[in-house]
Amino acid sequence: MSDPDGSDLQVYANSITCESDDSNNQQPALSEVSPSDKPWDKHRSFADKVEGFYRGSEFSSYGDRVHYCSELLGFGLALQDDDTLKLKLRSAKFCRVRHCPVCQWRRSLMWKAKAYKVLPKVVEEHPTHRWLFLTLTQKNAPITELRDTLKQMNKGFQRLVQLKAFPAEGWLRSTEVTRGRDGSSHPHFHCLLLVPSSYFGRKYVKQSEWVAMWRKSMRLDYNPILDVQAVKQGDRPMELIPELLKYCVKESDLVSDRGWFLELTRQMHKMRSIATGGVLKEYLRELEEEPKDLIGESDTPEAQEGSSLYFGWKRRDQKYRMVNYE
């Protein structure tokens, strides 16, 4: 489509409405109009379950906020590089509750966009350096002890990076918590490490040495499970970003058990999930803070001036459906 203007959006809306099955007087769903926006339905559906968990608890105000989160989405049309039109989110109100599935998803997208934008500059300015992907764990802990466990792991990580044998000149660390089958918590760190090329020579650290370093830093009486992988020479670290900056807690774990979820909320209150250090801090410092923008206005082409399409959350259908257009 060439030279689109504001009128294109109204023509598009009319065509979709005419093509939809209105035998049940239903407006077209967002997932029908734009299949790439189907994840909105999934995340908003999980948010309804989280809202229900908060109701009747000391976090009932969180439930109120989640209820109204992203209820109405406003989209414009953006022209892509291949001259096709795509829906571009223009407006939405987010609750910013930490464990709201919608906000957790949007937050992760913003972090990833920032990392994708900045890491090429790191590669350009450190052309001979290499990357490691390190996962650090310890034994599962009762969910009621998660906060203390995370504090111990944070202190252990600080001791790790201060060891003389620690090879990285910069690091990005994210925290993930998964639910054990017995209702325990499994906190672990995912780390992206920037190391000099000499690491793969005389300064190489074997798997067993990594385990010993982490055990010493955590002051454990057992060998913890640890995984370390090198990014192949010539590859870029961007392929690791989805794993590194994914959700702090899986949505399936958030909605699996109300008691576990409420205790998770208590335990993780104001606990930071992303940290940076060394030479990477100057590049990625912003990842340590709550993203100001959850819409992502700067990450996709600008929407064309003119009309907007609006989609409202329909709880009975568990879908976003068109509610009106301008």
How many CB atoms within 10 Å of residue 147?
20
Q: Are residues 299 and 282 in the same domain?
A: no
Model confidence at 42: pLDDT above 60: yes
With cut-offs at 50, 70 and 90, classify the pLDDT of residue 83: low
Residues 121 and 225 in one domain: yes
Q: Are residues 190 and 314 in the same domain?
A: no
pLDDT for 60-78, tens place per residue? Answer: 999 999 999 999 999 998 8
> What pLDDT is recorded for position 305?
52
Give pLDDT tens digits for 184-193. Answer: 999 999 999 9
Tell whether 133 and 190 lie within a shared domain.
Answer: yes
- Domain holding 270, by residue range, is 112-288
What are the pLDDT digits (tens) for 148-188?
Answer: 999 999 999 999 999 999 999 999 999 999 999 999 999 99
Does 104 map to a domain?
A: no
Do 134 and 69 belong together in one domain? Answer: no
Same domain? 160 vs 190: yes
Are residue 20 and residue 158 in the same domain, yes or no?
Answer: no
Q: Angle CA(95)–CA(99)–CA(101) in degrees, nearest 5?
A: 75
Tokens 């060891």 belong to 163
Please tell me whether residues 269 and 309 are part of one structural domain.
no
What CATH number is given to the structural domain containing 265? 3.30.70.120
**Averaged pLDDT, 296-323:** 77
16 pLDDT higher than 70: no
270 and 171 in one domain? Answer: yes
Helices (H), ranges, the chain = 6-19, 30-33, 39-54, 60-68, 101-125, 146-161, 207-218, 241-244, 251-254, 258-267, 281-284
**130 and 179, same domain (yes or no):** yes
Q: Answer whether residue 105 is part of any domain.
A: no
Buried b (16+ CB within 10 A) or exposed e, 88-115: bbbebebbebbbbbbbbbbbbbbbbbbb
**Is residue 61 in some structural domain?**
yes
For residue 40, being part of any structural domain is answered with: yes
Contacts of 191 (CB under 8 A, 6+ apart): 132, 133, 134, 135, 136, 171, 172, 173, 174
